[in-house]
Structure 1
């Protein structure tokens, strides 16, 4: 797997310096927080969260959203980055917020009280207008093209989601998107079979919504990934080829 060396991270920080005040050490400290669950710490080697958040430009004092936050992996790290004067809103679809998830989130909020959980209907995301400095979509944007009777996920309109996200983002605000790379083709079929998405579709969707693609990082690209494999296949799980995009809402 491609890994950034410290010098590359420092170079990325210099290139993005006008966007945030943190140093590389600040992001590393957020990841190294001693009370993070061991099962989540194990994921760090394949996700490079310090490098990703440094590139995306999350900084202290921001109001940040973690959409489809899962078990709070990124919500917790982001909370350490934004600090006590910032906050993280974990938006979790109601379909995923069951009895097993509630104690997990109670524990997350107990460790980092500047995290707030907001359940929402999967197909009806909404947030107050111009309320978000930063939003993260970590391995979930493709799911807006997914339908599942088993998990009670209805057919969702990605364009409607992005309209809501654009309205919720402050002028100049950032949206970071990380997703599994898929091949060109029918997007809904690809997502249903593989949980991947063609990066060209992702970029086109965001541009149509009014976001500007500001930069792309190679930190999670994996040259040997088989783009025809399901991302949960043991042969590739945790080591898929992933794009990392930084979009911005124009001022």
Structure 2
């Protein structure tokens, strides 16, 4: 009997640990699964789940259906197709990007399916005076996928100046105390030259942590859910050599297709 109780205790502990490890209770993981399986997702985006692991990533970040979520630089709306149905009934989703042209992808989704995307609020990021913004201290979660390298490279700035510190400060301001910052980005090996962060599209984990912690965030955890050991991160044309960009077009395409999308860090921070 004692042995049976011991085994049951061990199983209970294992289940509890699993729930904590993925970052979301069972009910929220179910809601995330439903959102990633939404019929409104485009087939081309669904095909990339094997590289991007959206259900596991959002569970790790602990995103909940009733959260106020800010998606920073949503691009064509790959994650918006998941976050919009996830937050549709009980939560709020902001899409924040370069104002106004950086949000065309989300606006296209809104025009095509207002029932699912019509509630998504649009805001400027980085924000400047006179532009719509996410009010300070209102977000439960701020998420950005493969974008920190853009700010480090000065994307969108005529002088290509690094504005990553400014970006992290603005994300910190958006969050409520206790709110989560979730970051996924292409991972540069720690031993590589830091100069490669300015040209390759890859970032060191240590750099991202330094930027976040300088803005006031506290590091919570890292996940290897988006790791890809096949990616050496030393391509002459940077991360865009790999899918989905295929910068070299048909040159060695089969080779890069076999490697898959980039090796990525997945980091969780909290605003104290």
- Residue matched to 1:181: 187
Where 1:79 maps in the other structure, the secondary structure is: helix
Aligned to 1:94: 99
SS, match of residue 199 in structure 2: helix
- 1:11 shift after superposition: 7.1
> TM-score when scaled to structure 1?
0.82
**Runs (5+) with no aligned partner, structure 1:** 1-9
Contact kept in structure 2, 1:166 and 1:211, CA below 8 Å: yes
Mean CA deviation greater in 115-124 or 26-35: 115-124
Match of 2:145 in 1: 138
Root-mean-square deviation over aligned CA pairs: 2.9
> Secondary structure in 1 aligned to 2:75?
coil
Distance in 2 (CA, whole Å) between partners of 1:145 and 1:212 is: 20
Offset, 1:191: 3.3
Residues 33-42 or 231-240, more deviating: 231-240
Other structure's SS at 1:170 match: strand
CA distance in 1, matches of 2:100, 2:158: 7
1:118-137 correspondence to structure 2 within 5 Å: 118-120=123-125, 127-137=134-144
Choose between structure 1 and 2: higher helix proportion.
2
Shift of 1:146: 1.2
Q: CA shift at 1:120, angstroms?
A: 4.2
Q: Describe the SS at the equivalent of 2:221.
A: strand
Q: Which runs of 5+ in 2 are unaligned?
A: 1-14, 243-255
Q: Cα gap change, 1:216/1:192 in structure 2, threshold over 3 Å: closer, same or farther?
A: same
Tell whether the 8 Å contact from 2:23 to 2:59 is kept in structure 1 after alignment: no
Q: Following TM superposition, by how much is the alpha carbon of 1:238 offset from its aligned partner in structure 2, in angstroms?
A: 4.8
Residues 120, 201 of structure 1: CA spacing in aligned structure 2 closer, same or farther, 3 A cutoff?
closer
Contact 2:23 2:60 in 1 (8 A): no
Correspondent of 2:269 among 236, 247, 250: 247
The answer to whether the Cα contact below 8 Å between 2:73 and 2:96 also exists between their aligned partners in 1 is yes
Structure-1 residue corresponding to 2:197: 191
| Contact kept in structure 1, 2:219 and 2:268, CA below 8 Å | yes
Q: Distance in 2 between matches of 1:96 and 1:112?
A: 18
CA contact (8 A) 1:177 1:244 kept: yes
Higher RCO (C-alpha 8 Å, min separation 6): 1
CA distance in 2, matches of 1:98, 1:17: 30
Q: What are the Cα deviations for residues 153-195 of structure 1, in whole angstroms up to 9, with x where unaligned?
A: 74242222222211111000001000101134554x4234210
Q: Deviations over 1:101-142 (max 9, x none)?
A: 743453365533332222445888953110110011100011
**Structure 2 counterpart SS, 1:69:** coil
Larger radius of gyration: 2
| Mapped partners of 1:33, 1:84: distance in 2 | 14
Q: What do residues 15-47 of structure 1 show as CA deviations (whole Å, max 9, x unaligned)? A: 158865634332211111011122222221210
Distance in 2 (CA, whole Å) between partners of 1:181 and 1:11 is 30
* Distance in 1 of aligned mates of 2:208 and 2:270: 14
- TM-score between both structures, scaled by the size of structure 2: 0.76
1:214–1:248 CA contact under 8 A, matched in 2: yes
Aligned residue-pair number: 239
Candidates 152, 161, 169, aligned match of 1:155: 161
